[in-house]
Amino acid sequence: MRILNNKAILGTILLVVGVLGLLTLAVPEMSNIQQRARYIWGPMSGGPAMKRSSTSELRPISLDRAVELATQYVTSLGNADLAVKEVMQFEKNFYFIVYEKSTGTGAFEMLIDPYGSWTRPEPGPNMMWNTKYGMMDGMGMGGMMGAYRRRGAPIGNMSVTPDQAEKIATEFLKSYLPGVTTEEPDVFYGYYTIHVLKDGQVYGMLSVNGYTGQVWYHNWHGAFIAMKELH
């Protein structure tokens, strides 16, 4: 019995040694993977995007390049009624509006990172208040994050008018950012997005719910740099 126990113990020891050996071989490979790439989470993105660990290996893209990427993204959706309205460059991301050519109404809003390595739905009102268009999780065409999908027919006409939305935004900003002004709202299904101006230049943006009047300031862009209007 003692001999059998010794054999069993020896077998267990050999098994443990073998497993440890495999783990030792696996560690360098995992280390290499971690050195080559890491996963980062964008603001309220709903999913990870792969990006190189060292941004020194990448160069920020230009506004013109962001326009190209935005146009490519919309083309990949296969909906001829959708087009890019404008692209804005901020410190932390590029922002663009996709609109319906047949109605002139904004469809949804998207972000591109400064290095052009991902495209994904803008967080906040674009995801939470949009009554016609929603966003799919996961990677879309060309490695783009967040392909769109239709939610169906939009809810009836918004009870808050564009003029009322602008007044609501102005009252909100009096308390938080005195001295700023607003532009005419961009109309989306279920909400409005409004540019905030300071000294006549774009300073930021906010959205107003088209049914409740709730205000949501976009605090994920950083400082404004430049913009290009396409339509």
Give me the residue spans of the domains in the chain. 2-41, 59-231
Using one digit for the tens of pLDDT, what is the confidence trace for 70-94?
999 999 999 999 999 999 999 999 9
Looking at this protein, which amino acid is placed at residue 197? L
DSSP letters spanning 186-224: EEETTEEEEEEEETTEEEEEEEEETTT--EEE--SS-SE
pLDDT above 70 as % of the chain? 66
pLDDT, tens digit, 9 for 90 and up, residues 39-64: 222 333 333 333 433 454 689 999 99
Of the chain, the end-to-end C-alpha distance in Å amounts to 87
